[in-house]
Structure 1
């Protein structure tokens, strides 16, 4: 009869989430405001990954460029 493998203790994994948004009409300022909010919620740390949503009224290339500039490790 097969025996179940011995269970190993699990390492704790923590996920910290930060949320940022802006209603600024200027893409650059909107990105700066949103990124600043995220970093504040994460205690000044930069996130490891980001999910980005943007309205059609913003220049998506500019938004992405600014996010990459402000969060180069994401």
Structure 2
């Protein structure tokens, strides 16, 4: 595991169960509770997009993320 991947895993692990915001492909922003993640995807629950649309869950490929922040 690379040092970069280790830092991402360590950070996301500490954020599990907390509300985060993320940007996907420079086009869409979402907030939700970080449910789980692996090397390829992040799973959010109780998701809201920038327009206020709500969803129960969202799966995002990590390679499509521009940024993620803890709210």
Q: TM-score, normalised by structure 1?
A: 0.22
Q: TM-score, normalised by structure 2?
A: 0.22
Rg: which structure is higher?
1
User: In proportion to residue count, which structure has more strand?
Assistant: 2
User: In proportion to residue count, which structure has more helix?
Assistant: 1
